[in-house]
Structure 1
Amino acid sequence: MQLFRDLEPLSSEYRHGALTIGNFDGVHLGHARIARQVRQRADEVGGPAVVFTFDPHPVRLLRPELAPPPLTWTRRKVELLGELGIDAVIAYPTTKDLLELTPNEFFDQIIVQKMAAKAMVEGPNFNFGKNRAGDTTTLAKLCNENGMQLDILAPFTREGETEFVSSSRIRKLIAAGDVQAAREMLTQPYRMRGMVTHGAGRGASLGIPTANLEAIDTLVPEIGVYAGIAHRGNAIYAAAINIGPNPTFGEKARKIEVHLIGFQGSLYGEPLEVSFLSRLREVTTFPDVDALRKQLAIDIETTKQKFQDYQTKLSS
Structure 2
Amino acid sequence: MPPTLIELHEIPPELLGCAVAIGNFDGVHRGHTVLIRQLIELARRHSGPAIVVTFDPPPSAILLPDRPASPPLTPLSRRAELLQELGVAAVVPLKTTPQLLSLSAEEFFEQTIRSKLKASAMAEGPNFRFGHNRKGDTNLLQELCQASQIELCIVAATSDSGGMVSSTRIRELIAAGELSAANQMLTQPYQLQGVVQPGAQRGRELGFPTANLAEIKSLLPGHGVYAGRVQLHSKEFRAAINIGPNPTFAEDRVKVEVHLIGFSGELYGQELRCQVLTKVRDVQRFDSFDALKQQIAIDVTRCESFEHSTTSQ
Amino acid at match of 2:250: G
Q: Give 1:231 deviation, angstroms.
A: 3.6
Please report how far the alpha carbon of residue 166 of structure 1 lies from its aligned counterpart in structure 2 after TM superposition. 0.6
Could you tell me which residue of structure 2 aligns to residue 25 of structure 1? 26
**Ranges in structure 2 where 5+ consecutive residues have no aligned partner:** none
> What TM-score, normalized to structure 2?
0.94
Alignment of 1:55-74 (within 5 A): 55-66=56-67, 67-74=69-76
- Cα distance change of structure 1 residues 239 and 138 upon mapping to structure 2, 3 Å threshold: same
Q: How many angstroms apart in 2 are the aligned matches of 1:119 and 1:24?
A: 18
Q: Does 1:141 align with 2:135?
A: no
CA distance in 2, matches of 1:313, 1:137: 37
Structure 1 residues 1-316: aligned runs within 5 Å = 3-66=4-67, 67-158=69-160, 161=161, 163-232=163-232, 234-306=234-306, 309-310=307-308
Q: Distance in 1 between matches of 2:131 and 2:252?
A: 46
Distance in 2 of aligned mates of 1:112 and 1:236: 45
| SS of corresponding position for 2:82 | helix
* Identity between Structure 1 and Structure 2 (%): 49
User: Could you tell me how far apart the structure 2 residues matched to 1:4 and 1:15 are?
Assistant: 15
Deviation at 1:235, TM superposition (A): 4.1
Q: Pairwise CA RMSD of aligned residues?
A: 1.7
Counterparts of 2:135 and 2:230 in 1: how far apart (Å)?
A: 43
Tell me how far apart the structure 2 counterparts of residues 31 and 246 of structure 1 sit (CA, whole Å): 37
Between the aligned partners of 1:246 and 1:219, the Cα distance in structure 2 is 20
CA distance, structure 2, for counterparts of residue 56 and residue 286 of structure 1: 41
Write the deviation string for residues 227-265 of structure 1: whole angstroms up to 9, x where unpaired: 011244654321100112222233332221111112221
Give the whole-Å Cα distance in 2 for the aligned partners of 1:65 and 1:267.
Answer: 38
Q: Which amino acid aligns with 1:236?
A: E
Secondary structure of the 2:272 match is: strand
1:17 and 1:303 mapped to 2: Cα distance? 45
> 1:145: Cα distance to partner?
0.2
User: Taking structure 1 as the reference length, what is the TM-score of the superposition?
Assistant: 0.93
Higher deviation after alignment, 135-144 or 213-222:
213-222
Give 2:171's aligned amino acid. Answer: R
Whether contact under 8 Å (1:5, 1:93) holds in the other structure is: no
The Cα of 1:125 is off from its aligned counterpart by: 0.9
Q: Secondary structure at the residue paired with 2:258?
A: strand
